[in-house]
Each structure stands twice: as C-alpha cells, then as structure tokens.
Structure 1
Amino acid sequence: MTFARSGDDPEELFKNGRFEDADRGYAKILEKDPDNARAHAQRGYIALLSNRFADAEKFLTKAVALAPDDRFSKEKLADVFVRQDQLARAVPLLRAAGIESYAKQYESVTGTPYEIRGPQSTRLPIDFRYPIPLADVSVNGAEPVPFTIDTGAPLAFSMETAEKAGVRAVATSRGRNGQEFFTLYHGVVDSFRMGDIEMRNVPVVWSDGEMPHPLGVPQPKGAFGTTLFYRFLTTIDFPNNALVLRRKTRAQLRRLRAEARRAGADRLPLWLAYTHFPCTLGSLNGHGPRVVSLDFGVEGATQVSTTQKMAEQAGVRLDLDRPASFDGQQTSYPFIAPKAGLGRAVARNVYGVANEGSLLDGPFRFDTLGNFSQEFFKAFTAAFDYLDMNLYVSSR
C-alpha cells in the first residue's frame, strides 16, 4: 500500500516514535491486505510496547503464522508471555527464534515464576554515594548486600553472589561489555527479597566478567532492574533516597496517583521496549518531545546520552577536541546542553555525550532522542505505572 505523503507512511511514523499514528496506518493496510505479515507484526509490537497483551498476542500470532521465518516477531510474542509470567508458553517461541539459553532457563523454572510474597508495598533506602544508586537486598535468605538499581538491566548477580547462593547454571551464552567478552550464565534463584517483599522462582543471569563499577570502588554484588520493576508499581524517589515497590493492583495505583497529584507530577506515556528498557517522551535543548529511553545504571556523570545526529538536530554544540571511546567501539563527544526535560521536569546545563552511531535504537527498531540516566533524575521522583503504562515525574 502506498501513501500520498511521506508523513502518512506508518513505517516512517513508527521509526519516529509516533506509535499511535503508525498503528492507524498499519490498520489501514490490513483493511486492504488482511494477510500483510509486516502490518500484523508492527501492530503487535506497538501493542506490546504499551503492555496491551491481548492485541499483542493476536497480531504477533498472525504475523508468525504468515511469516514463519520472522524471528523478531517470535521474540516479541515470547515477551508477551514472559511479561505475564507465562514462561512455558514463551519457551517454544524462544527456541524457534534460536534463543536457546533463555528457553532452557525458563523451562527450568519450577513453581510459580516471579511469585510475590509479603505486604502490598515496601520501601527500601537508597544509597547514592555510589555513582549508580544502591539498595540492600537478600538472596536466598542471606544477609542483605548492596545491589545497583539499574532500570536498563535484568536481575543479575556477580559470580561471587551466584556461587554463595548456590544458583545452578542451566544454560550459557556469550556477552560483551565494552571491549570485554564474557560468558553469561542463566539460572533461577529460589528467593530474592527487596525490603519486606520476597520474590520466588526468579530467572537470573551472572557472568565471569566484572559488573560495572568505577575505578577504585568495589563492584556491587549484583543489579536488579526492570525485569522485576515492571511486575510492580515502582517509584524511585531520588530526593528522599527511597525505592518504593507496590503490588500492581488498582488500589495501589490509586495511592500512587494520589501521591503524584500531591507532588504536582507530570504524567507522561510509558513504553517498555526490548524486554526491559522503559521509554517515555523527552526533549533536548527544546528539540522534541521525542521518545527517550531511561537507564538508571549509567556509569559516570553523564545525564543524557545521544547521537551526533540528534545532537545536531537539537542545536547542541559538541566538544570535538575531547573525543572519547564509547563502549570500546565508537567515538563520543561531550557537550553541555542548556536544558533537557521530561515534560515539566527540566534540568539546566546538562552534561551529556553524543556518540557516532546509534544508542539502543537497533534492538528497539525505532529512533530515540537519547537516554536519560540517574544523574538527570537526582532532583526528581520517577513513578513507573506498569498497569496503565504512565510515567509520573515530580521534583519532590
């Protein structure tokens, strides 16, 4: 199906993060061509970004039936089931997509996956002396130890933590961190306690490489992030040094919204991409709003990471005399932007880096303006509503 103007092209709309407009465009394609596999796949992926599971399952199932070699749609359909704790339904799809390590990991879960025990909510103190926020958690009933709070990470252990907990590897894969290649081990931990809430039968990964940490600072015992957080209503309250986890119920959502109203929070859309990366709308130097990712596990003082292309569009001046290596693969340049914001939450004189190539848009398959890190959020509270898919950002 062709369109009169490039602005009507759902592929271009999707690439630019205009998901609702793109979805309407793909729906028009299906009206004339009901067996268009690409349109089904894209409508399914757009639904998955907003956790609309029934629509995501319907469209992605059709896409896979029409295009059996579509590995990406198999991965996304598997994620539909993983996000609903239906791991057994995800296993054959992951296996068919060639992701054997996660297929073996999920089929090894016994009991209820991600089972939540304890009260309706819990509050954990956050330690911000470390560049990445830390909270004490307990693994298999042991004494609490510091883990980084990393919204761009799954549940991950250090090798020491995995060995002490007696977690058995059921599969391995290969990973890369900067210039370091490592073996990634996949297993299931019986118990993971965050404050007063315990999760049971939780998939976990660990590696023989070091976890991210600054020079001269001991590495943390692990990291926990969005693969756990999206099973709650999660608030990261930087001004008050607290992580609040609420059960994902309507009653708890009413409490979260009431707090957000009292704090004068801005409500923004929330999307979940690539299994565990939260995204919303943001702006850089007045350019936007456009889709941005939120990764609270970024090392150093960088508040916003973007690309040279996006920095140029935003009118940001790069310091070309100070190139640096990004992830050991591409060159980045620092900058100071007059402002960056998420709705009304605006930071001034923002320190950032602009990279030669893409950031995370490759696995996302849509462009992002950049990534906002924990350094941007230090003056704000971020409440992630994974029930209705909204992000609430306030300055107190």
Structure 2
Amino acid sequence: MTFARQSGDPDEVFKAGRFREADRAYARILEKDPDNARANAQRGYIALLSNKFATAEKFLTKAVRLAPDDRFSKEQLADCFVRQDQLARAVPLLRAARVEAYAKQYESVTGTPYEVRGAQSTRIPFVALNPGPAIEASVNGAEPVTFGLDTGAPLAFTMETAEKAGLRAVATSKGRTSEEVLTIYHGVVESLRMGGIELRNVPVVWHDAEMPHPLGVEQPKGVIGTTIFYHFLTTMDFANQALVLRRKTEAQLRKFRAEAERAGAERLPLWLADTHLPHTLGSINGYGPRVVSLDTGVEGAAQVTADEKTAKRAGLTVDYERPVTLTAMDKSFPFVAPEVSLGRATSRNVYGIAIQDSALNNRVGFETIGNFSQEFFKAFTVTFDYVGMHLYIART
C-alpha cells in the first residue's frame, strides 16, 4: 500500500508531511507576495524541523514581524535559538508568547548553557532494559543514580533528585500524565555527568509524578531525553546494551558515518518538532512511508501506536472487544500488524495500539501515522544525527 501524492493547497501538502514539496509551494507564494505571513511562517517552521537555523531564523523573524499575534511562530523562533544554546535570545520571544515558565528558566542560566566537558565520546552501559533502557548518571557530583532514556522527553528529575541536588525552582507550570494534572518545576542543574562526559548549566524540570518502572523495582531518579541527546551524536546500542555519546565534531561525525556505511545501516531523514520530539519516515503494514514520531518513552508493550484512522487505512484488524488503558483521555484498542518498518528495518507480527480521537498531531501541525516506541527499537541499534539530520538504524 503506497501513499498517493496529491497537489493543491500547500497547507494540506505540509499537513501530509511532504515538507520539501510544501516548502517549494510556499516559496512560489512568496515570489508573488513576499509579505505573506503564513508562507513565511511555514517556510521557517519547515527549516526548523531540519535544524536549518539560519533559514528558520530568517523566515520566522519576518513572520513574527508581519503577524505579531502569531504565538506559534514566536515559540518556533525561540526554539530555533534554544537548539543553538542561545537561550538569552529565546527569552523575550517566549515571554511574548506567554510561555513564562521557560522564559524565567532560560534567563536564570548563568555560565555557558549545556557546556560540554570531558571525553570526546563515551559509552555508558545500560543498567536496565525494562520498561526501557536506563543508565547511571551523576547530578552535581553526587553518586551515580539510575535514569531512564526517553527520546520523547526533556531532562526531567524526580522531586527527590532535585531536592538532593539542592535545585531551586525559578518557575512552575502545569503538565499532565495519563493519570493526572501535575505541577512542573523549572530550574537549572549545575552538572550532569554521563560516563566520561559532563554537561554544565543545564535546564531541567522536575515533578512528583511516578517515573515508568517495573513492578517491585524502585523508580528511576529521572529521565534523560532529547534536549540532552541533540547536543551529541547519540546512539542507543541495544546489541551491546549501551548509550554512546559522541561530541558533534567533524572528526566524530566523519568516523561514525564511515562506520555506519560499512555496517550497512539504513539512513533515514530526521526531523525535530515540539522542542524535543524526533520524527522520521515509517510504514505500518505497507501504509507509507509517511512521517512517524519516535517517542521511546511510551509505556506498555506496544511497538507502535497509531490512531484509529491509520489502522483502518493500513488494513489492520482492531480488537474492539479488548480495550486498553493507555491514557485517561483516549479510548484505545489493540491490533497486530503483520509488518512495521523504518526503511529496511522491519519487525513482523507487531503488537500495537489504536487510539480513538488521538491528539498525537495537534502539537506539531502535521500528520503522523503513528509512534514507534522502545519496544520496536530493542531489536536495533539506532543513532540520531542532529547535524546532518539523519536517523541511522541497523538490526542488532
């Protein structure tokens, strides 16, 4: 089953995840109408998805000038600066977009944000694989404790970890889990050490919600997510059960890419949206390739999560007799997909969850056909290259 390409409204082309095609369409609009706020905003957002920072800044800056009430573009321009560790430039934009907690958090950073010290690369062994990979890391020089790894999250601590580290909340905001609304505290941690690499002056959030963990096992002390991972060439090596962090130098990138080519790793596009949620191209039962999200922190045994519409288009049989409690807000039902894949990286007879009325796509503005979780990735080694914006994946 393939995705039929359609022409027409560039907003619809963008929504379908055909970003290059949409960008060309918006460019044609700007040739005739250079002050079209929507086209400028969309070209800037598309560039930001691929970490093309100069282009993103150019178009988003103009979009904000043309449409001062466009909060989304202000947030994306702020994110453009945050991803480059230019936190001070993000503060007024976040304040104008009424994202006050992050504005206060970023303006409280002293010293160089995300300053990297130590080794050029480090390999940190997994200390657990269930429900997802976990490593040991040290906060502010204390003894190492266990942290989960979650590509769909920022850096987050438990209340206990924040208190032991002596962190001071500079702001609060509201968030929610599948179970409850919670208060999120915002601050800055002086030091986070992972193996032979230390990060300093790192924005962090903490809360009192329970972290995912197996029954009878103490919960991890926090989660290390994509706001940390995109500062490195990051590999989750399930074959050898380790997290590998490499500095984003030309030498490290060149060496890794040569190794990936020799290993026959699949290279796929990588997009980053909603500040910390990576995306690539995937297929579900032959439906695709289309954009999928890569949130490895989704709880449960499902390898892939999709909305009900995607399940039907993919020809899947959804078991409506066995509802699944995935979140308090969504009705969810299981299915088994004969095949799901990221390029040539394929799993068969995959357990998945179909969500009714899912809000998966509301935050990013484009459609995804599903989310690939850590259960899928446990059969592979995966590397996130946030310089070249590629995902490398190989079966372990």
Quickly name the TM-score band, shorter chain normalised: over 0.9
* 8 Å Cα contact 2:41-2:60 kept in structure 1: yes
Determine the structure 1 residue equivalent to 2:88. 88
Number of aligned positions between the proteins? 392
Determine the structure 2 residue equivalent to 1:229. 229
Does the residue aligned with 2:202 lie in a helix, a strand or coil? strand
Distance 2:239 2:378 in 1: 7
TM-score after normalising by structure 2: 0.97
Cα 1:6/1:342, change in 2 over 3 Å: closer
Determine the structure 2 residue equivalent to 1:142. 142
Does the residue aligned with 2:75 lie in a helix, a strand or coil? helix
What is the CA-CA distance between 1:261 and the residue it aligns to? 1.5
Determine the structure 2 residue equivalent to 1:238. 238
Determine the structure 1 residue equivalent to 2:297. 297
Does the residue aligned with 1:202 lie in a helix, a strand or coil? strand
* 8 Å Cα contact 1:183-1:209 kept in structure 2: no
Determine the structure 2 residue equivalent to 1:187. 187
Determine the structure 2 residue equivalent to 1:60. 60
Does the residue aligned with 2:331 lie in a helix, a strand or coil? strand
Does residue 1:307 correspond to 2:307, yes or no? yes
Give ranges in structure 2 of 5+ residues lacking alignment: none
Deviations 1:219-240 (A, max 9, x none): 1100001001001100111111
Determine the structure 1 residue equivalent to 2:14. 14
What is the CA-CA distance between 1:360 and the residue it aligns to? 2.4
Distance 1:149 1:208 in 2: 18
Compute the RMSD of aligned alpha carbons.
1.1
Give ranges in structure 1 of 5+ residues lacking alignment: none
Deviations 1:195-214 (A, max 9, x none): 10000000000012222334
Distance 2:179 2:257 in 1: 43
Larger CA deviation: 356-365 vs 340-349: 356-365
Determine the structure 2 residue equivalent to 1:29. 29
What is the CA-CA distance between 1:127 and the residue it aligns to? 2.9
* 8 Å Cα contact 1:213-1:299 kept in structure 2: no
- Residue type of the alignment partner of 1:253: L
* 8 Å Cα contact 1:6-1:12 kept in structure 2: no
Determine the structure 2 residue equivalent to 1:47. 47
Does the residue aligned with 2:260 lie in a helix, a strand or coil? helix
Determine the structure 1 residue equivalent to 2:276. 276
Distance 2:221 2:114 in 1: 21
* 8 Å Cα contact 2:128-2:135 kept in structure 1: no
Does the residue aligned with 2:321 lie in a helix, a strand or coil? coil
Determine the structure 1 residue equivalent to 2:353. 353
Distance 2:192 2:105 in 1: 17
Determine the structure 2 residue equivalent to 1:120. 120
Does the residue aligned with 1:148 lie in a helix, a strand or coil? strand
Does the residue aligned with 1:31 lie in a helix, a strand or coil? helix
Determine the structure 2 residue equivalent to 1:160. 160
Determine the structure 1 residue equivalent to 2:74. 74
* 8 Å Cα contact 2:131-2:212 kept in structure 1: no
Cα 1:129/1:229, change in 2 over 3 Å: closer
Determine the structure 1 residue equivalent to 2:198. 198
What is the CA-CA distance between 1:215 and the residue it aligns to? 3.9
Deviations 1:318-355 (A, max 9, x none): 01100123310010000110010000000001010000
What is the CA-CA distance between 1:6 and the residue it aligns to? 5.9
Distance 1:19 1:303 in 2: 26
Cα 1:134/1:22, change in 2 over 3 Å: same
Distance 1:174 1:377 in 2: 31
- Residue type of the alignment partner of 2:201: N
